[in-house]
Amino acid sequence: MWYEEFLSKYKSGISHEFLLYFNVRDLVDNNRFIDRFLFEEFIKQRQFAIVAYYDISRGLTFMDAGMEKEFNKITSNEAASLLRALPSKIFPYIDIALKSTKMALFIDHFEKILPSVDVGSMSLEERMALIWTSEWSVNPKISSVGSAIFMLADNIADISREILKSAYRVEPVLVELPGENARKEYIEYLLKDNSVRSDITPDEFAKLSSGLSKKAIKDIKLKAEAEGVPISFEFIKEKKHSVLAKEYGDVLEFIYPEIGFEDIGGMERAKKYLLKNIVEPIKKGDLRRVPMGILLCGPSGTGKTLLVNALAKASGFNCVKIDMSRILGQYVGESEKNFKKCLLGARSQQPVIVFVDEIDTAFRRGESGDSGVSRNIFSEFLQFTSNTNNRGKVIFIAATNRPDLLDSALKRAGRFDKKIPILLPDKDERAGIFKVIIRKYGFETDIKDFAPFAEAAENYTGAELEAVVRKAYELANEDNCEGNTITGDILRDAISRCRPSTRQVQFMTALAIKECDDYDLLPERYRGYMDNRDELEKLLEIYQNT
């Protein structure tokens, strides 16, 4: 919990100035916001003489009149007429009070006082705020008196990085969204008045509300009460989607899958691995078995994205997609700020699957001419994906058909622990895919055995087999056909008309085999290559040259 982290740093003398960020507008427990919580749990017990609050809209206010009187006394009444002034005017007097008596100062909306811009682009007012707040963190007199400063912000990326330099002692403390147990306890507290009916249990409500603040959970309850409807799965899903889209929709794509593993043909080894090593361990609470990340390698159209969607539905976990087109901005520092918000938003959904498609183009160590943006984002991504605290909570899954273009730092164990090849389906898998696709679309067919058609569709990817089935339905609905049933003749005709179009299949297949680090995850027909790496390298060289 953030409070334990803060208290430990304060007691050990690491700092007396703290930047509390992210979920700072939420209830800490059932009825106290962060300032009231800190007052009752920390400030009151330590007998602070003054508790003051500052933001640029309201100026400087106090917990009670006596504290304001004490502040005016310490500052010789010189600040009495400046309480609503900007930082440059009032901070010098706050400085006097912080050094003279035990004072707790809350600075709200700190990102509005010290926004994320280079020092050279700062206004004079912002530079003065930077000087005062940074110097407070290293002032020994403030420390010896016992004063404490709490700066609050929604997004740390919106604040100038100058304040967090190692030369100063401002300690950032992440105030996270409530975990499942905290949500359940709060939900039980909300529902005990029986003012609204719930079709789901508090346990189910707590699981469904992952990624939401307590304020958002209360809003769901109040909206259900106002609309006179029970709290249900669909009601929560609808309200949750609207909250998350509003909060993170500018930097994250939320995936609400409609297909499960039963709806995709083939890939049995991959599906079994994901169930046994992600879904089951997380549900049982054994996170040691869960890989930090998974890299899906293979030719285009083999079903990598489809597999991620099916995993999301099978597990019931939240699923988000990182789309770099939403991250990159046109202003200095905007891309880095968006990416920090993206990662924070993803982490808030835990347990969550974070999907990155075509990762070889999304993350690169750096490119000339982009002012270090690529390098900064790449570094941030490396740090986040190697954080072992995320194991079993944030599951990174990336897809690529060119793993050879990935930076080696991304592929190492501890980031992407498993490299799973998703390759062309074999004959039996192609027959299964035909069945699944026809069932998926609800097409009528009189075909009982798809083996002959699977034989005729050798070297087709899953996406190309779907194109064949849709072509067959198109042919079945032509004017000279009776009914719209897909017959054997029609499907065979569709196969002859739709030829494989995926380029460099053999080359991308060889790359995926080379990348695979687990014998059990490789289809049997390719296992010989793992035992004969020299032959594989020769094949790759041939494909590259052609």
Separation between Cα atoms, residue 543 and residue 535, nearest integer Å? 12
pLDDT at 153: 95
pLDDT at 400: 92
Backbone angles phi, psi at 314, to 5 degrees: -65, -35
The per-residue pLDDT for range 98-155, each reduced to its tens digit, is 999 999 999 999 999 999 888 888 999 999 999 999 999 999 999 999 999 999 999 8
Fold annotation for 261-421: Rossmann fold (3.40.50)
Pull the structure tokens for residue 40: 């009752």
Confidence of residue 369 (pLDDT cuts 50, 70, 90): low
Residues of the chain above pLDDT 90, percent: 56
pLDDT at 330 over 80: no
Q: What is the mean pLDDT of residues 378-398?
A: 89
Q: Is the pLDDT of residue 368 over 60?
A: no
pLDDT of 479 reads 65
Is residue 19 within 8 Å of 158, Cβ to Cβ?
Answer: no
64-103 tens-digit pLDDT: 999 999 999 999 999 999 999 999 999 999 999 999 999 9
Query: Domain locations in the chain?
Result: 2-175, 180-247, 261-421, 425-546
Q: How confident is the model at residue 371 (pLDDT cuts 50, 70, 90)?
A: low
pTM: 0.77
- Inform me whether the pLDDT recorded for 25 exceeds 60: yes
Query: Mean of the pLDDT values across residues 413-442?
Result: 90
Q: In CATH, what is the architecture of 180-247? A: Orthogonal Bundle (1.10)
Residue 297 has pLDDT above 70, yes or no: yes
| Token pair for 427 | 């004959």
Phi, psi of 231 (to 5 degrees): -75, 120
Between CA 402 and CA 515 the distance in angstroms is 10
pLDDT of 331 reads 63
pLDDT attached to residue 366: 63
List the CATH code of the domain at 2-175: 3.40.50
| Per-residue pLDDT reduced to its tens digit, 242-263 | 888 888 888 888 888 888 888 8
Structure tokens at 433: 């895919």
The answer, yes or no, to whether residue 480 has pLDDT greater than 70, is no
Mean pLDDT of the chain: 90
**Residue 370 predicted with pLDDT over 70:** no
H/E run at residue 107: strand 103-107
Contact 92, 133 (CB under 8 A): no
Tokens 């597999």, residue?
307
Q: What per-residue confidence (pLDDT) applies to 375?
A: 85
Query: Would you say the CATH fold of 425-546 matches that of 180-247?
Result: yes
* pLDDT of the residue at 481: 61
Which CATH code is given to the segment(s) 425-546? 1.10.8.60
pLDDT at 246: 83
Q: Which pLDDT belongs to residue 146?
A: 95
